[in-house]
Amino acid sequence: MKDHLSLLIPRHDIERAISRLAGQISEDYRGRQLVAVGILKGAFIFMADLVRQIEIPLEVDFVTVSSYDSGSESSRRIRLLQDMTIQVKDKDVLIVEDIIDSGYTANYVLRHAKDTGARSVAICALADKPSRRETPIEIAYLGFTIPDKFVVGYGLDFDNKFRHLPDIYTIEIDDEHA
């Protein structure tokens, strides 16, 4: 009847991870033309916290991609619902994603940014579930490696709920909802 949440990553750990990532990014992208591109909706909180710790000039943009997980898991068809609004040609794109699971979503956005003529494209993800990978992907900046559990909070949702929680939780989903 009730969705059971268990604390997985407390907010202070998230803060520490973001400081570390932002420090690396600030160093690596100094003197380059950084465009941070968040994947909506899941990355909105991560993006907001990350860019505020980055100490070099940057531009912020977002894309929205369709989720394939409503009944079409086998086809993995990903569609771009909303494209970037900034010209990224010859710029250095950093894709900001909440969590890498199969790898299809981030790879799709990576390819799209390359096709648009970005000079470089790299991925920054808050969390990674490597045991779920179905397509190879290079994550240049990673917050946490997590087990194969469904997680919510800090932007991540189940059924569009729980995004507002400041910490990250694992959720046990009732069969009734699954």
Residues annotated as catalytic are 101
Please state, in angstroms and as integers, the Cα–Cα distance from residue 58 to each residue in 32, 169, 174, following that order.
9, 31, 42
- Among 74, 60, 130, smallest CA distance to 102 is for 130
Nearest approach, Cβ of residue 153 and ligand IMP (Å):
9
Amino acid at 29: Y
Which residue number, 92 or 101, has a Cβ lying nearer to ligand IMP?
A: 101
Give the per-residue contact string, 105-134, with ligand IMP (x = CB under 6 A; - = no). xx----------------------------
CB 57 within 8 A of CB 74: no
For position 46 contacting ligand IMP by CB under 6 A, the verdict is: no
Which residue number, 54 or 99, has a Cβ lying nearer to ligand IMP?
A: 99
CB under 8 A, 24+ apart: contacts of 137-140: 137/100, 137/103, 137/106, 137/107, 137/110, 139/100, 139/106
Give the per-residue contact string, 16-35, with ligand IMP (x = CB under 6 A; - = no). --------------------
For position 139 contacting ligand IMP by CB under 6 A, the verdict is: no
Binding segment for ligand IMP (CB under 6 A), chosen from 22-30, 56-64, 95-103, 114-122, is 95-103
Tell me the C-alpha distance between 109 and 104, whole Å. Answer: 9
Dihedral of the alpha carbons of 82, 84, 85, 89, in degrees to the nearest 10: -150
| Contacted entry of ligand IMP, Mg ion, none for residue 101, CB cut-off 5 to 8 Å set by kind | ligand IMP
CB-CB neighbours of 87 under 10 Å: 13
For position 144 contacting ligand IMP by CB under 6 A, the verdict is: no
The residue ranges that bind Mg ion (CB under 5 A) are 42
The residue ranges that bind ligand IMP (CB under 6 A) are 39, 42, 97-106, 150-152, 156-157
